Amino acid sequence: MDYSQFGSMIPELIVLGIFMVVFLFDTFSGEKGKKILTPFATILFLLGTIAIWIVPASGEEIFGGMYINNTATNAIKAILNVGVFIVLLQSAKWVQSDEVAIRKGEFYELILVTLFGMYLMVSARHFLLFIIGLESASLPLAALVAFNKRHYESHEAAIKYIMTAVFSSAILLTGLSFVYAFSGGSLYFSDIALNINQGEMSGLLIAALAFVIAGIGFKLSLVPFHLWTADVYEGAPTAVTSYLSVISKGAAAFAFFIIFVQCFGTVYSDAWEWMMYAVIILTITVGNLFAIRQKNMKRFMAFSSISQAGYIMLGAMAADTLGLASMIFYIFVYIVSNLGAFAVISSIEDKTGKLSMDDYNGLHKTNPYLSFLMTLAMFSLAGIPPFAGFFSKILIFTSVTGTGSWALYMLVLIALINTIISLYYYLLVVKAMWISPDEPKIEKFESGRCQKVSFFLCGAGIIFFGVVPYIYQYCYDAVVNSSDVIASIMVFVFR
Amino acid sequence: MFENILIWFVVIPVIMMAGLGLCRNSSMNAIRAVMVVCSTVLLGLSIWLCCDFLRLRGMGVDDEMLFTGSWMWYEPLNIHLAVGVDGISVLMLLLSSVIVFAGTFASWKISPLPKNFFLWFALLSTGVFGFFISIDIFTMFMFYEVALIPMYLLIGVWGTGRKEYSAMKLTLMLMGGSAFLMLGLLGIYWHSAPEGGQLTWNILEISHNASIAPEWQNMLFCFTFVGFGVLGAMFPFHTWSPDGHACAPTAVSMLHAGVLMKLGGYGCFRIAIFLLPQAANELAWIFIILTGVSIVYGAFSACVQTDLKYINAYSSVSHCGMVLFAILMLNTTAMTGAILQMLSHGLMTALFFALIGMIYGRTHTRDIRQMGGLMKIMPYLGVCYMIAGFASLGLPGLSGFVAEMTIFFGSFQDADLFHRIFVIAATCSIVITAVYILRVVGKLLLGPVQDEHHLALTDATWFERLSTVTLILCIAGIGCFPNWINETIQHSFAPIMAAVQSVAL
């Protein structure tokens, strides 16, 4: 075996390297060393993130085409890294708290391991590698969800999460075994695409695709596979909730796109277009309707993130270059907006332990900057210009309507009507903070320094990266320059 | 980029926001200084633009749009920041800056949180100005939505009455409209060039190149017209207007009724009719019915209201209905009337809302049954109110007369029974307008004093006078010298009429 092939896995090596350093540092350092673990890990991660942004993708397929590191995968990895960095900043305060301080090394290690798994998911071109990535991304997450050892909600959430994760993996594997049946005995994406084209449509294929959608749908919390979401989000520590809601969702969405366009692109209109059509409509609508009645901010964000996942998956419906570019851009914007909201939620939770929307009444009187950031985040999630959320929504809608079919037009219409519903409940938060006449329930307080940096990053991301088209251009170029994605899309366009 | 004068209409409000961001909530004078300086600069800039525009037209420059500029924004989708103005947009910019100027003075003593109020106010004006300078439908839509969302907080935080309900209703209805609009615009984009051509969002390029299939045109026309029509308070999508206006603070009502509702009319004109002319010919009748209903229905509703702001809001429904009605007649005279009506309604409605705000600030009631004889107590405000009322019911010499006459002349050119019936019905609304205006004037200004406490009230202060005098001068200016407006806009209809007539039956 040619070990030099590992040299192409630069992002993975970087994350693995950071993991090793943090692990060894955590294991062998004394009391003093433990104190600087948080800044050490955060800064190391920042350097890694910068490295991934800078180092160009090799574009090589290695291990016989099992793994690829091209510009598109590099782009999504870089964007996920930015999100993880913000999560680390937000959690800096929480990991220092008495309850978890002793285990904070584990927190960073588990985060890095799951991130490594997501990298493999994104880069996999063979289902075996994909499954390895998926598992190493989801099992350590369960440990993270249970991180608040002394809270039974956290345990309950972890049990729920691990049960659904394992169950969904089982379903996914069943689906893949069906796929294996008619792919001519190969699990390479390219082989599957070739062989499915030759075979004729069968009930088995439909079942296989349904199982695969269900399996990945659990990760993305698409309706009807979303039932775990609200409870897990509520029970998990807030830092983990924000990690779950953006990072693991972003990676799964990208992987979904690649799998469905590369393996099953040739049976798009026969087999999975209508399935995804129904799933997306359900996801957006159900997520929105349930979010209206939530009073707990974490549950509220859970349902809001369900409906946002539906919008992300619209990119898969478009299934072309613009679709993928808009999807990556949407993931980026969703990361900064959602983390902006979670920055406020977690900072308030750290200080006061309050999580109910009613507690936010009159927040602007005591904490004007927090309310301002929360307002920005809510507007961005609702898709209000000039904030980034508007651009990501409109670009993804543009890519979906580009296919020119009436059915997709109607899908966009439904999605647009849903943005109005979502605007309603996002405005409820704004209303609580700015309009409610009640006396503020949260005292004035200073957030930690790291949290302030994360406020700044999220706020700047929301304000600037819509108006400045740099990130979108970056995503688009990344997609256009990654030849294997383009090749599969081209096959798919002239099907 | 910054050598283009039009860009400054967006840059100055942004500077205004930055300047406000540096002020503290407690330093009222600094906030006022920023607002006054910037809104005066905007007013000066728009007057200068207007003069320059007339000069260029006088020199025989007859491009469709002047001062054009275009900068690439989102390259993969060919989205540009494209700007350009014709006579209509120049006048709309002038109107907006007059109202922003007057609105600044009308909210001189806003509280609480003056800084935040003016921040959102500045964001709103950024949207309005950006909308009128854009000739790229993407940026146009973006600015359109920028103008909508600050309304929620402006009404919700600084409003009166059932403000939470009204703010939410207004925001959701307008955003619902813009959802339909969005779909229409996306459809236009994907059909903006013949097969294989470079797709574009630029209005001029679309109007030259596109040949959208009729069935698509019909669908897209409905989406865009309804989308803009919601903001133009078209029946049955007008219900946000009375509640929203009644609860909004003074300056916001002024800007919203004065300028924001014009966005609807302007958008219908510039996008729905101009880019989809065939559908406009075919489907105009549906919307003529709807707008005809809003004219008459709005006027009748205004007759039975007792809250001053509700009266005005319904009267706005009626007058804005007239704008859309005239645009749908698809002839030059009626469209000229529509533009005049937009200006006239913008100014007089802003004046009305400013005065109502001032009266309400003194009497703390807007119910006309509880007030009376205000002419004796505050003669200045009383006279201003009368002038606004006369402008509204179309007294010659004021702007309302010119606008409505032109609209009805133009509308009468269509000789078939259907158009005749609706034009006659719409014309009757003048009488109803007179009924509700005179009722208010008689009750509020002339009748006996209803409440003894009112006798102690004072007349207008200097900043209130400044705000009203500006508006009255403009109203009288349009009324007495309508010719220069005609001169400004006369070239602007040719491309639209050409588009409409080339596909007429």
Compare A343 and A445 and report the one with higher pLDDT. Answer: A343
Q: What is the DSSP string of A69-98?
A: --HHHHHHHHHHHHHHHHHHHHHHHHHTSH
User: Chain B residues with CB inside 8 Å of A427's CB?
Assistant: 152, 168, 171
DSSP label of A353 = -
Residue A198, pLDDT > 60, answer no
Query: Is B153 within 8 Å of A430 when comparing Cβ atoms?
Result: yes
**In this complex, which of A385, A412, A424 lies closest to B142 when CB atoms are compared?**
A385
The CA–CA distances, whole Å, from A324 to A245, A329, B267, B397 equal 20, 9, 32, 60
Are B102 and B254 spatial neighbours (Cβ–Cβ below 8 Å)? Answer: yes
Query: Is B190 within 8 Å of A401 when comparing Cβ atoms?
Result: yes
Residue numbers of the domain that contains B208: 5-502
Alpha-carbon distance of B44 to B420, in angstroms, equals 43
Alpha-carbon distance of A319 to B219, in angstroms, equals 25
Are A189 and A126 spatial neighbours (Cβ–Cβ below 8 Å)? Answer: yes
Residues 63-92 on A with a CB inside 8 Å of B are none
| Of A59, A45, A44, nearest in space to A10 by CA | A59
Please report, as a single letter, which amino acid is at residue B52.
D
Task: Supply B103's token pair.
Answer: 């609105």
Please report, as a single letter, which amino acid is at residue B308.
L
At A335-383, the pLDDT tens digits run: 999 999 999 999 898 888 888 888 888 888 888 889 999 999 999 999 9
Query: Is A379 within 8 Å of B149 when comparing Cβ atoms?
Result: yes
Q: What is the pLDDT of residue A132?
A: 93
Query: Is A473 within 8 Å of B163 when comparing Cβ atoms?
Result: no
Alpha-carbon distance of B441 to B312, in angstroms, equals 13
Alpha-carbon distance of B216 to A7, in angstroms, equals 53
Are B83 and B73 spatial neighbours (Cβ–Cβ below 8 Å)? Answer: no
The CA–CA distances, whole Å, from A374 to A252, A348, A380, B68 equal 26, 11, 10, 38
| Residue that is written with structure tokens 């008459």 in the block | B296
Query: Is B172 within 8 Å of A417 when comparing Cβ atoms?
Result: no
- Chain B residues touching chain A at CB-CB below 8 Å: 73-77, 138, 141-143, 145-146, 149, 152-153, 156-157, 163-164, 167-168, 171-172, 175-176, 179-180, 182-183, 186-187, 189-190
| Of A157, A97, A104, A107, nearest in space to A351 by CA | A97
Number of folded domains that form chain B: 1
Are B260 and B231 spatial neighbours (Cβ–Cβ below 8 Å)? Answer: yes
Q: What is the pLDDT of residue B44?
A: 92
C-beta contacts of B416-425 below 8 A and 24+ residues apart? B418/B285, B418/B288, B419/B288, B419/B329, B422/B288, B422/B289, B422/B292, B422/B325, B425/B292, B425/B295, B425/B296
Say what the pTM is.
Answer: 0.93
User: Chain B residues with CB inside 8 Å of A384's CB?
Assistant: 145, 149
Nearest CA in chain A to B174: A420
Q: What is the pLDDT of residue A219?
A: 87
Mean of the per-residue pLDDT values for chain A? 88
Are B98 and B43 spatial neighbours (Cβ–Cβ below 8 Å)? Answer: yes
Q: What is the pLDDT of residue B27?
A: 82
User: Chain B residues with CB inside 8 Å of A473's CB?
Assistant: 74-76
Angle at CA of residue B393, ends B399 and B289, nearest 5°: 95
Distance from CA of B185 to the nearest CA of A (A): 10
What percent of chain A clears pLDDT 90, i.e. is strictly above it?
A: 49
Q: What is the pLDDT of residue A6?
A: 84
A463 touching chain B per CB within 8 A: no
Q: How confident is the model at residue A77 (pLDDT cuts 50, 70, 90)?
A: very high
| Residue that is written with structure tokens 């609105």 in the block | B103
Alpha-carbon distance of A81 to A247, in angstroms, equals 9
Residue A488, pLDDT > 80, answer no
Distance from CA of A323 to the nearest CA of B (A): 12
> Which of A284, A420, A479, A486 would you mutate first to test chain B, the one with the most B CBs within 10 A?
A420
**In this complex, which of A409, A435, A469 lies closest to B164 when CB atoms are compared?**
A435
> Which of A401, A403, A405, A411 would you mutate first to test chain B, the one with the most B CBs within 10 A?
A401
- Average pLDDT of the residues in A422-450: 87
> Which of A363, A365, A423 would you mutate first to test chain B, the one with the most B CBs within 10 A?
A423
Sequence-distant (≥ 6) Cβ neighbours of residue B406 within 8 angstroms:
B333, B334, B336, B337, B340
Ranges of residues in chain B with a pLDDT under 50 are: none
- Average pLDDT of the residues in A97-124: 90
Alpha-carbon distance of B342 to B357, in angstroms, equals 22
Query: Is B75 within 8 Å of A469 when comparing Cβ atoms?
Result: yes
Residues 342-381 on A with a CB inside 8 Å of B are 379
Nearest CA in chain B to A402: B190
Other C-beta atoms closer than 10 Å to the C-beta of B59 total 8
> Which of A394, A412, A434, A436 would you mutate first to test chain B, the one with the most B CBs within 10 A?
A394
Q: How confident is the model at residue A200 (pLDDT cuts 50, 70, 90)?
A: low
User: Chain A residues with CB inside 8 Å of B167's CB?
Assistant: 435
Q: What is the pLDDT of residue A493?
A: 56
At B285-317, the pLDDT tens digits run: 889 999 999 999 999 999 888 888 889 889 999
Query: Is A427 within 8 Å of B171 when comparing Cβ atoms?
Result: yes
Other C-beta atoms closer than 10 Å to the C-beta of B365 total 16
Query: Is A431 within 8 Å of B190 when comparing Cβ atoms?
Result: no
Distance from CA of B207 to the nearest CA of A (A): 20
Instruction: Please report, in angstroms and rounded to a whole number, the separation of the first and last CA atoms in chain A.
Output: 37
Q: What is the pLDDT of residue A495?
A: 43
Alpha-carbon distance of A263 to A180, in angstroms, equals 12
Q: What is the pLDDT of residue B182?
A: 92
Query: Is B180 within 8 Å of A402 when comparing Cβ atoms?
Result: no
